Amino acid sequence: MLSLDRLGEAASFGPWLCGIVLNLCRGQLRQRQREVSWKDLVGGAIVADALLVDPEPSPEERAEALQMHQQVLSW
């Protein structure tokens, strides 16, 4: 925002502002990447160094997938 007075055309304000926001977001993402722990990566579900993740879809997920499959086939 300190360089707003050097902005040439008023029509350039939108892209200029979006560029600032994009750079701020990238900076936040870079900072977050440095602060990620193993526990964050696995969703906090660690018990005796084992993940509590069921690789199989739940019954609800299976039913939803089947319903979506049937909808696609009916088109």
pLDDT tens figures, 21-50: 898 888 888 776 666 666 666 665 555 555
CA–CA distance, 55 with 16 (Å, rounded to integer)? 45
- Strands in 1-75 per DSSP E: 46-47, 50-51
Per-residue tokens: 34: 């440095």
Supply the pLDDT for residue 63. 92
Supply the pLDDT for residue 31. 74
CA–CA distance, 43 with 53 (Å, rounded to integer)? 10
Supply the pLDDT for residue 73. 85
Report how far apart, in Å, the C-alpha atoms of 37 and of each of 14, 33, 45 are. 37, 9, 13
Please say if the pLDDT value at position 9 is more than 70: yes
